[in-house]
A and B are shown apart, each in its own frame.
Chain A
């Protein structure tokens, strides 16, 4: 009763549709450039690791991955740590302007990055953070903090209020209750929220590219630059692309059991 006729076929077809372009990228990353341009081959006939070798030995390439990971991790930590208390407040209390504040946060999640590119450039240049991971991490907060609040609020609301009351009766202070009782209870929610912050910070390019020039350049920006300058080094481009998929794939594997509820932002 749960599912529809022919579901295996539909699912299989859709998964093939999802995987085929990715396979093509992986396939190309193991080919030599001569093979890519000259013949159409479904798998690499003379497999090579030269593109990967180049990325891992050339600092201008691998530093891009480090830069990207740096601001993604910074952003995830900032977002979760400011969002947790707020999520608790929104879930448990009513206060002056709470609904408006929540809407205002939400509207920032929806704001187009293109609108903010130029003002951010001015702002972070003025305070001397331009071209540091902090600039990108703070800029990404504009969509990640609201999202984290939204997800965590759903999970905090799932914790019965009696638990708070019992803890306070037992003489727990608020910070101690928060760290010792609440955080462990919504651990899976924090995992999901962190996953989303990681995801949206990792995939965003427009702001990351605008706010960096040399020292903190993300891998995505390095890729675009090389494409235009080096006259289409397809194999290298494909290898760099494959390497950007790996962190995401690893993260998904760890949170796979929570993906479904996480995507519903904790409020199915």
Chain B
């Protein structure tokens, strides 16, 4: 089904274009402007050319050292998060009950951490981990661990990671669950007739069908963990020392703490550029996957599940949506 070429469609896109341009392009121009200048307060600006960018990428300077250190910490954090959350999310999705009221109950509980304001997530773990009033900190200290996330680097890291696992694994699990639900029953029956093992079913049927959602999951998780700010800021404030200072925390420190607009703007642009590159890779892989899918669908149209929107049976369209 090819799309028709129609330039008038621009009129339909125009509102979105205007709204996003207003909130994205205008501010970005300010950032570019600042990044080339230096200020000594008093709203006086001096031309600095690419000076900030040079400093930013040179680890021997203060700015560069801080940026590269926080970038390294952030990349390490994102990798650890992905290594834990993706397998765990798949396991949770495979563990979902099949039918009955428990499905809805599990879905609601799984989604709960996702809808808690991020600073409250930080607060919850701040309280939960405290050795004096928090259950986790109290229990850990009483069974012999000298656990204190405020003063110990490793404990702070572990707490931030456990907190993120608590906060976001559900997203991966729900995405995978959505992928699993789109697998037609016939596939499983065929596998049963062939006498396929549990592992073979997972590898040959479930994993390929989850490919696409897993891609979304991995990239959403990468992006969001790469720009994490609020939760570790509330929990540890970037400490102890600088051990949990991620790029966003460093950026806000420089921009709103020291009011070093030039440095902050230069950092923002480099930060944004990294995100943009990863995002481009994501987009390209996704669209290619879409094209392959379409080609495959033409070959075997009977078994290819339709898009989720079409998958909803007609009665499911009853108004439940007014609430949100």
Measured CB to CB, the closest approach of chain B to A136, in angstroms, equals: 11
Indicate whether B302 reaches chain A with its CB closer than 8 angstroms. no
Interface pair A22/B124, CB less than 8 Å apart: yes
Indicate whether B75 reaches chain A with its CB closer than 8 angstroms. no
Interface pair A203/B118, CB less than 8 Å apart: yes
Q: Which of A112, A203, A249 contacts B271 (CB 8 A)?
A: A112
Interface pair A107/B275, CB less than 8 Å apart: yes
Q: Which of B4, B123, B174, B322 contacts A259 (CB 8 A)?
A: B174
Which listed segment binds A: B46-54, B55-63, B88-96, B146-154? B88-96
Compute how far the CA of A234 lies from the CA of B124 in the bound complex, rounded to whole angstroms: 11
Which B residue's beta carbon lies closest to that of A6? Answer: B95
- Chain A residues lying within 8 Å of B136, measured Cβ to Cβ, are 21
Indicate whether B5 reaches chain A with its CB closer than 8 angstroms. yes
- Chain B residues lying within 8 Å of A260, measured Cβ to Cβ, are 107, 174, 177-178, 181
Interface pair A263/B117, CB less than 8 Å apart: no
Interface pair A110/B110, CB less than 8 Å apart: no
Provide the main secondary structure of the chain A interface: helix
- Chain A residues lying within 8 Å of B299, measured Cβ to Cβ, are none
Compute how far the CA of A40 lies from the CA of B91 in the bound complex, rounded to whole angstroms: 34
With A21-B125, A263-B175: A11-B96 Cβ-Cβ less than 8 Å? yes
Compute how far the CA of A237 lies from the CA of B12 in the bound complex, rounded to whole angstroms: 45
Which B residue's beta carbon lies closest to that of A221? Answer: B119
Indicate whether B143 reaches chain A with its CB closer than 8 angstroms. no
Q: Which of A20, A88, A160, A224 contacts B234 (CB 8 A)?
A: A224
Indicate whether A66 reaches chain B with its CB closer than 8 angstroms. no
Measured CB to CB, the closest approach of chain A to B50, in angstroms, equals: 19
Which B residue's beta carbon lies closest to that of A4? Answer: B94
Which A residue's beta carbon lies closest to that of B179? Answer: A268
- Chain A residues lying within 8 Å of B271, measured Cβ to Cβ, are 112, 114-115
Which B residue's beta carbon lies closest to that of A2? Answer: B98
Q: Which of A106, A145, A254 contacts B324 (CB 8 A)?
A: A254
Interface pair A252/B135, CB less than 8 Å apart: no
Compute how far the CA of A158 lies from the CA of B141 in the bound complex, rounded to whole angstroms: 54
Q: Which of A3, A36, A76, A268 contacts B182 (CB 8 A)?
A: A268
Compute how far the CA of A159 lies from the CA of B22 in the bound complex, rounded to whole angstroms: 31
Compute how far the CA of A47 lies from the CA of B181 in the bound complex, rounded to whole angstroms: 44
Q: Which of B97, B113, B188, B324 contacts A255 (CB 8 A)?
A: B324
From 238 to 291 in chain B, residues with beta carbon under 8 angstroms from any chain A beta carbon are 247-248, 251-252, 255-256, 261, 264, 268, 271-272, 275-276, 278-280, 283, 287
Indicate whether A188 reaches chain B with its CB closer than 8 angstroms. yes
Measured CB to CB, the closest approach of chain A to B161, in angstroms, equals: 14
- Chain A residues lying within 8 Å of B117, measured Cβ to Cβ, are 202-205, 219-220, 244
Interface pair B307/A234, CB less than 8 Å apart: no
- Chain A residues lying within 8 Å of B119, measured Cβ to Cβ, are 205, 220, 223-224
Indicate whether A161 reaches chain B with its CB closer than 8 angstroms. yes
Interface pair A190/B307, CB less than 8 Å apart: no
With A138-B23, A188-B312: A206-B123 Cβ-Cβ less than 8 Å? no
A-B contact pairs, 7 of them (CB 8 A): A10-B91, A101-B13, A110-B278, A191-B322, A203-B118, A259-B107, A264-B175
Q: Told that A188-B320, A245-B112, A248-B116 touch, could you supply 7 new A-B pairs with CB distance under 8 A?
A: A81-B15, A116-B23, A116-B27, A117-B255, A141-B19, A188-B309, A263-B171
State the B residues within 8 Å of A (CB).
1, 3-10, 12-13, 15-17, 19-20, 22-24, 26-28, 30-31, 91-92, 94-98, 104, 106-120, 123-125, 127-128, 132-136, 138, 166, 169-171, 174-175, 177-182, 188, 191-192, 198, 201, 212-213, 216, 223, 226-227, 229-230, 234, 247-248, 251-252, 255-256, 261, 264, 268, 271-272, 275-276, 278-280, 283, 287, 305-312, 316-317, 319-324
Give 9 closest A-B pairs by Cβ, nearest first.
A158-B309, A191-B321, A248-B115, A119-B27, A112-B227, A7-B95, A158-B310, A155-B309, A194-B324
